[in-house]
Homo-oligomer: A and B are copies of this chain.
């Protein structure tokens, strides 16, 4: 793209919406992948430039802190933020992971084929399901009683919760996505929806990666069962994409820490 085309595109876009053409900025807790990782993966998979604000410089944390402060009442157009991740795009500020993905999905070509106007509702459904069952519920296995308290203060309850999660919930969600993939495969599709990669695939990939980190034995067992062949094949397919491979090998990809996905051996299968 020549620079004149670029500036032209920017001008055209900004007339229809303030934020278009502006840089994409992610604000999330630094040092852990967390829910921010779903947003990062959309940018990385599509080679879209973005700034990971709080990882770019320690001093930028103050921006996130002031956004989620209970003194913040938002501004003329944006309601205040309750929790990160936050996406800043020009004058637009939005939060809630599936909401940010919804916003980025169409813009980055990750929401299904162009002419399929209902694709976004199918992709959103699949992403919400993965985020619930393989994200939030995994967090609850180490914090079943109080999000604001330490794991060490809710260990017996966490053990019970993790047992139920591994025995009942994990197979339920993996089974659902395996079924989605089987139906797609019968029509020649290798992704969750519409025969092409969408952000639902990226969300599911990240969730599977996180759950595998948290419960390596449980996931190992489910993998061996052979019941989820298409799902684990999708995992490898996404991991093997050029852009993703490059990203995973870069310093931008962070290790799991004390976030949603934690590895406590005592919570895993025996």
Contact = CB atoms under 8 A, between A and B. Distances in A.
A72 B117 CA distance: 24
Contacts of A140: 140
A79 B125 contact: yes
B129 A182 contact: no
Contacts of A179: 70, 72-73, 80
Interface string A49-72: 000000000000000000000101
Interface string A184-206: 00110000110000000000000
A121 B92 contact: yes
A30 interface: no
Contacts of A160: 145-146, 157
Interface of A: 16-17, 19, 70, 72-74, 76-80, 82, 92, 94-96, 98-99, 102-103, 117-118, 121-122, 124-126, 128-129, 133, 136, 140, 144-149, 157, 160-161, 164, 168-169, 172-173, 175-176, 179-180, 182-183, 186-187, 192-193
Q: Which 7 A-B pairs have the closest CB atoms?
A: A73-B183, A146-B164, A96-B128, A96-B125, A94-B121, A99-B124, A99-B125
